[in-house]
Chain A
Amino acid sequence: MSPSRAVALIVDDSAVNRKVLARHLESLDIASCEAENGREALEVLRSGGSDVGVVLLDIVMPEMDGYETLAAIKAHETLRHLPVIMISGVEELDSVVRCIEMGATDYLPKPFDPAILGARIRASLAGKRLHDLEVESAARQAELLHTIELQKEELSRFLSPQVAALVSSPEGAQLLAGHRRLATSVFCDLRGFTPFSEAAEPEEVLGVLREYHKAMGELIVEHGGTLEHFAGDGMMVFFNDPVRQDDHVERAVRMSLAMRDRFEELAAEWSRRGYVLGFGVGIDTGYATLGRIGFEGRYDYGMVGTAVIVASRLSSAATAGQILLSPQSHEYVRDLVEAEGVGEINLKGFSRPIAPVNVLRARPAAASGAGVAVASGASRSDVTA
């Protein structure tokens, strides 16, 4: 809105004064409209029909005087930013002070000096324009943020929420580039899935997988795990990256217990349909390299390290219902869970056997010595790869 196209609303009960003022404004290339009193002025303003950029307001008027009008404008949600210039005789300065305290922008003394008139109206219009631009810019920014949120939401359908958030965070680039960190890896998959998928119809297999992924996905998110990938019935989840979690081992174990419980509910339903499936988990903790893995066109946010392989092998070694925890991981949560030894196991690719435990259940909170639990040390020993 350029000053030359702005409309000034003249509010004065004297037709003579309105005409004189309108004529002055015309010579300043400012269009005007008129109202006889405050009530009429508010009707004009609320109808929003005209492009009023400034109100020139007389004080003494019938029906609704300048004070009431000013108060109504300043109390109105959108009109309150409209500049209001009081028109007053020089002997009414006390009233002007009161009006300025009520939010009037300025005052115009009568008789009008064209130069002062022009300067004050232009200054008010510039202020109004600035305000309108700010409002517009804030609206545009809100729209932009909304778009970004939508994109993040869309992205998080494909990525784990942590990785989706990482992509749009300032430290994201550095984390994506690769870093070393202590992390806990969880592998889980189904027992009996291969024979099931051979025997069942593809629709049934997909139906079972969908239920399984949905249930497990909710638990991964609930426990703050980062889902690296799922392939068929297998899933790999890790903790303490990209979001730091001092209790990463505890989270991994609690998620696995929750998954096992949830799986049993699903399996009960499936067994009524004649599907016999079991659930096994392997967990290990160790230093690993984390970041972007893959090739141009297809990258994953992944974890590479011995802990990943050990967790995978333990998951394969677990029988239905077992959560096999490596000795390293077990150290962190010894006070938090009840576990049983399962003897030494030789893992493929490892020269020495390891002695994992099978997690039976979480200890009740009171008996666990809550708070002692999980060491981290992760923040001290981070190395950028």
Chain B
Amino acid sequence: MNLDGAPVLDDAVLDELRDATGGDEEFIVDLVETYATEGAANLDGILAAAAAGDPASIVRPAHTLKSSSASLGAMRLSAIARTIEEAGRAGVSDGLAADAELARSTWVETLEAFVAAGLRR
């Protein structure tokens, strides 16, 4: 999987979000919290589908994780989720477990990055 140029956290996206909300830091913190809950659920869905070797049911949680991660600048996780979504659509189960594991470890990194950015306690 080529993840070159996909940072764990893209500051440019967060800055755009700050611009759009007039620097409403509280809103972004709340958004990150929502993301933490929602992302965890989607990750669970991905891990369960991978464990069951079920590419079809991995598509939806991977799609949602891809999309919400991109909204908050979690570009690396978004790229991984996208790869998983595409594999799921193509019905490919090979490597699904490894990709799911990569998503899980990147998820942990992403949450840590939000803490480091002061957006999560």
Interface positions of A (Cβ within 8 A of B): 13-17, 19-20, 23-24, 27, 60-62, 89, 91, 110-111, 114
Interface positions of B (Cβ within 8 A of A): 13, 16-17, 20-22, 24, 27, 30-31, 34-35, 37-38, 59-60, 63-64, 66-68, 70-72, 82
CB distance from B88 to the nearest CB of A (A): 11
CB distance from A65 to the nearest CB of B (A): 9
A interface SS class: helix
Cβ-defined contact, B21 with A27, below 8 A: yes
Cβ-defined contact, A27 with B22, below 8 A: yes
B interface SS class: helix
Name the residue of chain B whose CB is nearest to the CB of A19: B31
- B16 to chain A: which residues have CB within 8 Å? 111
| CA–CA, A314 and B68, complex, Å | 97
Q: In the complex where A16-B35, A16-B38, A23-B21 touch, is A111 in contact with B70 (Cβ < 8 A)?
A: yes
Q: In the complex where A24-B20, A27-B21, A111-B13 touch, is A17 in contact with B67 (Cβ < 8 A)?
A: yes
Cβ-defined contact, B60 with A20, below 8 A: no
CB distance from B116 to the nearest CB of A (A): 19
Cβ-defined contact, B59 with A17, below 8 A: no
Q: In the complex where A27-B22, A60-B60 touch, is A14 in contact with B17 (Cβ < 8 A)?
A: no
- A15 to chain B: which residues have CB within 8 Å? 34, 37-38, 68
Q: In the complex where A60-B59, A62-B60 touch, is A16 in contact with B34 (Cβ < 8 A)?
A: yes
Name the residue of chain B whose CB is nearest to the CB of A88: B67
Which of B63, B70, B82 is the one whose CB lies under 8 Å from A60? Answer: B63
A to B CB contacts below 8 Å, 17 in the list: A15-B34, A15-B37, A15-B38, A15-B68, A16-B34, A16-B72, A17-B68, A19-B27, A19-B34, A20-B31, A23-B20, A23-B27, A24-B20, A27-B22, A60-B60, A89-B67, A110-B71
- A89 to chain B: which residues have CB within 8 Å? 66-67, 70
Cβ-defined contact, B31 with A114, below 8 A: no
